[in-house]
Amino acid sequence: MFDMELPWWEFVLRASIVYIALLVMMRFSGKRTVGQFTPFDLLVVMLLSEAVSSSLSGGDDSIPGALILALTLIVLNVGIAIATSRSEKIAAIIDGEAVLLGRDGKVFHDAMRRNHVAKGDVDQALREANCTQDKMKCLFLEANGQITVLHDE
């Protein structure tokens, strides 16, 4: 239970590699993937977790090994948070930037397709903002996957 089968540094290395690889994969999967979880998205996250679990532990079921993995993942997460809060360039790379989906009542369908945004999602955002399409000034897909509508009052 307390005897580790692997050296401590291998847990740190494994967790770091898996964390960075998953971060890159999630970043390239698009803003909408992260911003709105459908049952399908939740299933993918659960399967990702299961798929990488043995890569993290390397077959070690010890308590110290699990704690080293957990600590490494938390430190990496805090490190990324600090880096993105201090550097706009790093924040743009990690978090992404807002994308203009429409302006002055016109919706940019090419931008919607590139970012995997359904028309229904735009319609819902307009309703939530109590705005019609012709009164919309700007429509943004935020880095967190939410759609923001700017309009005249």
Q: Can you give the pLDDT at residue 138? A: 96
The CATH number of residue 125's host domain is 3.30.240.20
Residues 56 and 123 in one domain: no
Tell me: the pLDDT tens digits for 14-55?
Answer: 999 999 988 888 777 766 555 556 666 667 777 788 878 888
Quick check: is 29 in a domain?
A: yes
Instruction: Identify whether the C-beta of residue 151 lies closer than 8 Å to the C-beta of residue 136.
Output: yes
What is the reported pTM?
0.69
Residue at which a domain ends, from 95, 124, 139: 95
Dist. CA 25–CA 34, nearest whole Å: 11
Digit-coded pLDDT (tens) for 124-150: 999 999 999 999 999 999 988 899 999
